[in-house]
């Protein structure tokens, strides 16, 4: 019975979705850098991972039910997301650079200025929904899911599983790195690295905006 499942069209759709998800999500981008930093600080990491996973699951499922057609029907949608995405990344890059340059990147948990849960949720949503690549991925996922016909939900489920696994790796990985960030210098390097990633991503979005 189990062997037959692995050769079934449903498993083909599921595994294809999983591989698609890994290829799309397993990159160190702005969202990954945000999750790693908050995880190292042990600052509402479970809340952040839950918000990211839920937003992925909801919108991936919606993409199968025609969200991509709605996105493509709104001419200015891409422009609006690009503008807000650029501003969001520049703002976060500035804050990270300021912490690094001003020698202000110490262990937040130790300093008593840990991020509030509300700010963590807003940050998680921002790095998901204000990321133009997020919406482009949804269009791609929605298009590919149509190949599998009535098994498109199995394809979407595979993508969602890949998202959850990648987010879990980031969450667990950040905890493993935590012991290395007991010094001020390590945090300054991390914030400098995060700032560079955010600026790089913002530049890529500006270039996309111009084209």
| pLDDT for the residue numbered 182 | 66
**Residue 46 pLDDT class (50, 70, 90 cuts):** very high
What global pTM score does this model have? Answer: 0.77
pLDDT (tens digit per residue) in 65-86: 887 677 777 777 777 878 888 8
**Residue 107 pLDDT class (50, 70, 90 cuts):** very low
pLDDT at 188 over 90: no
How far is the CA of 110 from the CAs of 22, 43, 98, in angstroms? 35, 11, 19
Radius of gyration of the chain (CA): 19
* Exposure on the CB side of residue 187, measured as CA atoms within 13 A: 24
> What residue segments make up the domains of the chain, in order of their start?
28-210
Long-range contacts of 70-73 (CB under 8 A, 24+ apart): 71/135, 71/138, 71/139, 72/139
pLDDT (tens digit per residue) in 109-152: 444 456 789 999 999 999 889 888 888 888 888 888 888 888 88
CB burial string 31-50: b at 16+ within 10 A, e below? bbbbbbbbbbbebbbeebbe
Of the chain, the end-to-end C-alpha distance in Å amounts to 52
Calpha distance 74→72 (Å, rounded): 6
CB atoms closer than 10 angstroms to residue 131: 21
CB 170 within 8 A of CB 2: no
Q: What's the token pair of residue 103?
A: 């020698």
| pLDDT for the residue numbered 4 | 61
């Amino acid at each position: 019975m189990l062997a037959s499942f692995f050769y079934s069209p449903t498993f083909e759709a599921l595994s294809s979705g999983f591989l698609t998800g890994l290829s799309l999500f397993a990159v160190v981008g702005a969202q990954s850098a945000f999750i790693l930093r908050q995880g190292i600080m042990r600052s509402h990491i479970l809340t952040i991972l839950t918000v990211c996973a839920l937003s992925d699951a909801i919108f991936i499922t919606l993409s199968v039910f025609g969200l991509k057609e709605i996105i493509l029907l709104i001419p200015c949608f891409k422009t609006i997301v690009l503008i807000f995405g650029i501003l969001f990344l520049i703002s976060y890059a500035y804050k990270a650079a300021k912490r690094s340059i001003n020698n202000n990147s110490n262990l937040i948990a130790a300093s008593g200025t840990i991020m509030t849960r509300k700010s963590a949720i807003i940050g998680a949503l921002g790095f998901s929904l204000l990321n133009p690549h997020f919406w482009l991925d949804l269009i791609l996922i929605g298009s590919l899911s149509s190949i599998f016909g009535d098994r498109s939900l199995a394809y979407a489920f595979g993508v969602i599983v890949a998202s959850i696994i990648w987010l879990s790796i980031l969450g667990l990985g950040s905890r493993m790195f935590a012991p290395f960030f007991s010094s001020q210098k390590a945090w300054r390097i991390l914030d400098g690295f995060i700032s560079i990633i955010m600026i790089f991503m913002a530049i890529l979005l500006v270039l996309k905006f111009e084209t």
